[in-house]
Structure 1
Amino acid sequence: MENTGGPASFGEFGKRTLMAGTQTLLRGLSILELIGEGMTSVKTLSETLQVPRSTITRMIHNLVAEGYLYHIPEKGYFLGARLVNLGEKARDQRPLAGIARPFLEALSEQVRDTIHLGAPTDDGTIIYLDKINGSRGFQMRSRVGLTVPIASTGLGKAILMTMDEEEWDHYYDYAMSQKKFQNTGAELKSYPEFFSDLSLSKQRGFTFDDEENEIGIRCVAAPVFANGSSAVAAISISSTLNFMPRERINLLGPVIVRCAQKISRELGWSNEK
């Protein structure tokens, strides 16, 4: 019997279908990410992704139908409840965040301030893995999933103080280069001050951020270890200037270090190594 090429043709069709499906999936994820960043109109999404408005509209309608987005007339599209549920599951399934959570909750009850957990990424930033709002009646701009230059935050500086000093200037320069894009009004210290601060932090075991990431906010932070001498994460206590005078930073230093060490031991770290 003559080979008509049926199976080969089907194989090519299958590949094209798979590629189209992958493209649709990636576009859908891009839409969710952009809406999560505050881009709420079909027109803006279409222009940003360079995809026809009809295609964006069709995909958004499907995402709304499945609960991943919801629509507010005359205001636009926003992340839906299904994504909130997935986000909570993702946080719980991360070993680090799941292990740290009970300790962070206990620390939050003790100090009443905002508590953060963050981990370094591969691109010179730190990502917020968890956040517990304080009970003092104010909100910070930080949120789970947000990334910021590692040298700009107390969390990041707690990571840096466990690295070789030769690496500090690289992260500092990167943070300075990103300031113009952040529009927070916060300013980093000069590099000599930054270097001196990290050197002292290595000696005392904790560091702090004095309005370097967010105007009106101070925080004290400590590194979290698993194996080795370089931190895998950091935790912080943050509050407004009136609730976080400089003398309180010194009082909270040992508190944050003890909490970080408890989490570290749960991750298999031992300070006797």
Structure 2
Amino acid sequence: MAESREHTFIGTRGRNRVRAWPHDRPRYVAVLVHGYGEHIGRYEYVADRLVRHGAAVYGPDHMGHGRSDGDRVHIEDFEDVVTDVHSVVGQARADHPGVPVVVIGHSMGGLIATRYAQRYGDDLTALVLSGPVIGEWEVLTTLLAYEEPPHTPIDPATLSRDPSVGTAYEEDPLVWHGPFKRPTLEALATTLAEIAKSGRLGALPTLWVHGADDALVPLAGSRSGIEATKGPNLTERIYPGARHEVFNETNRDEVLDDVTTFVDRALPT
């Protein structure tokens, strides 16, 4: 695996930890935006593939996640998380002036990445969304019906057809295994509405990858969000039989081949 290093910065709500996988002469910078309850350390394989493809890779632990500050999985405003990601992009640009930037967001990270593109898309070369929480997400509606959200643990089998992925997830001490926090659910609902009313992504090259058998963020709900925000340069890849974490699926190399091929097309010649 590619070597990495870590640093911290003071984000909107405290100290955030960032992992960077360096490249001496990168063709592009890739900024990874992780999903709910997890951390950037789960993306080692993705980062390694991207480094070998010519990228310098950066990825923060969001507030309340991984090794960053904050109450666990407590997010009051996702605009703050977007601002923190923008700080990471700023550091990447300072490290590699003039190098194109690609943002890659998974699940809740897809929501953050989409909102990032709406706010800062003019500065991006491409956007990749993996199983994004955009459009309609029935889980959110169900949980918001409770004053105190019930503890509904994620079934690790819904992550990937590879059972080792679920086992590692269950045993990872940096993964949150408790219930949703109501402020986080309310912030998710607010951001979904904000994305819906904030318009399309214009000409930004966008790749949407999704597992056809994703039970956590079902395909149909995300499609409604994609349809509402897509511009003319959308590429779609739906993988039969794949579950939620397509970057950790049994066909992950196929998925990452699609990502790198898409990035090659999007990069300036």
Q: TM-score range by the shorter chain?
A: under 0.3
Higher helix share: 1
Higher relative contact order (CA 8 A, sep 6+): 2
User: Which of 1 and 2 has greater Rg?
Assistant: 1
TM-score normalised per structure 1: 0.25
- Relative to the length of structure 2, the TM-score reads 0.25
